[in-house]
Amino acid sequence: MKTHAIILLAALSLSCGSRREEIIFTPGAPWPDNNGVHINAHGGGILQRGDIYYWYGEHKVAGAAGNVAREGVRCYSSRDLLHWTDEGIVLPVVKGARHSPVLEEGCIIERPKVIYNSRTKKYVMWFHYEPANHRYDCSYSGVATADSPTGRFKLLHYGRQNAGCLPLNALPLHASRVYNPEKNYPGGSLPRHPDSLNLIARDFDGGQMARDMTLFLDDDGKAYHIYSSENNSTLHVSLLDDDYTNYSGTYARLFVNRFMEAPAMFKREGRYYLIMSGCTGWAPNAGRAAVADSIWGTWEELQNPFRGEDAGVSFRSQSTFVLPVQGEETRLVYMGDRWNPKDAIDGRYIWLPVTFEGKQPVIRWMDSWTLQ
């Protein structure tokens, strides 16, 4: 069976004749950590600090039981993006806590992302949070901070977003605050969802929903939370406060009624990009991409970035993060999850280079590849 591998190449260097290591990624193969155990960091994201990368993701256990949180958020560290050291659970769920309804075993903690705040010197984690036994109904965001990248992270708060605030690009009907409950539908993956329902009005007082999410830290130190809202029908982008731990109240609606999920944002040549998926649960679908000159839009939707066989199902993956290797926007790595809801712990990781045809991001399948 193929695994992610390292091969030693004799470097034909006239000057030193030393050996050079080549890092080879093998998308979809089991990926052992320093203990030989398949990496357990699903729906993850990466934070680079100095020359160390930290990979945060959902720890999953075996079987369908692993589709909810049994342990919490796990972290790994690496200097070369191939060899990962298990740093353990950095945000644990509370086990057997009869009196604590917060982060209890069996809750849902998805798509954790961490950014560093150089002013407060805190590592700030945001994640999609659903208390146990509420399915995906609450649509909360959780926020936790730590003094070190390997935690432990302490939960600050969780809840809905932007209560009492209208989006920057509110329509007159949002300002009218008339929700049309008779037109309501229970959510799910319906591809058509009339904006006239006015879910912004429904959630105005209690706060807007947030499910699939990512964070984006811009060059100017401003940080954003990007998430599926309005019953997944519409993506929102929210500016965070200076501590990155709360909302600023400024947000916008993007891709109205397009049911975008799994957002991964990056910047290249001054433009903002999103790679996303459609909304079909654990089953893969065709990837989506978009570009904008400003994070607030106007966003231009591009073509499916995946090319070739299985492009219609994003090579059986769903986006979670795009990593600029060593911060270089010319070396971008797509990170996706190949979910396995019947045996959640065996979800695989699809990492592939992102190239460009003009403004269009392009991801091609490769059985193996190197950063060179």
Which positions lie near ligand GAL, rule CB under 6 A?
43, 110-111, 212, 261-262, 281-282, 318
Distance CA 92, CA 102 (A): 11
Minimum distance between the CB of residue 221 and ligand GAL, rounded to whole angstroms? 28
In the bound state with ligand GAL, the residue whose beta carbon lies nearer, of 87 and 212, is: 212
CB 348 within 8 A of CB 30: yes
In the bound state with ligand GAL, the residue whose beta carbon lies nearer, of 129 and 216, is: 129
* Cα dihedral 9/13/18/20 (nearest 10): -30
Minimum distance between the CB of residue 349 and ligand GAL, rounded to whole angstroms? 14
Phi/psi at 54 (5° precision): -115, 125
CB atoms within 10 A of CB 332: 22
Minimum distance between the CB of residue 289 and ligand GAL, rounded to whole angstroms? 16
In the bound state with ligand GAL, the residue whose beta carbon lies nearer, of 133 and 148, is: 133
In three-state secondary structure terms, 269 is coil
In the bound state with ligand GAL, the residue whose beta carbon lies nearer, of 85 and 189, is: 189
Minimum distance between the CB of residue 128 and ligand GAL, rounded to whole angstroms? 7
In the bound state with ligand GAL, the residue whose beta carbon lies nearer, of 42 and 202, is: 42
Nearest residue by C-beta to ligand GAL? 281
Minimum distance between the CB of residue 32 and ligand GAL, rounded to whole angstroms? 24
- Pairing between strand 306-307 and 360-364? parallel
Alpha-carbon distances of 345 from 27, 40, 135, 262, 330, rounded to whole Å: 16, 7, 20, 19, 32
Residue type, 132: A
Tokens 């990624």 -> residue? 25
In the bound state with ligand GAL, the residue whose beta carbon lies nearer, of 110 and 203, is: 110
Minimum distance between the CB of residue 283 and ligand GAL, rounded to whole angstroms? 8
In three-state secondary structure terms, 277 is strand
Q: CB burial class (10 A; 0-12, 13-18, 19+) of residue 178?
A: exposed
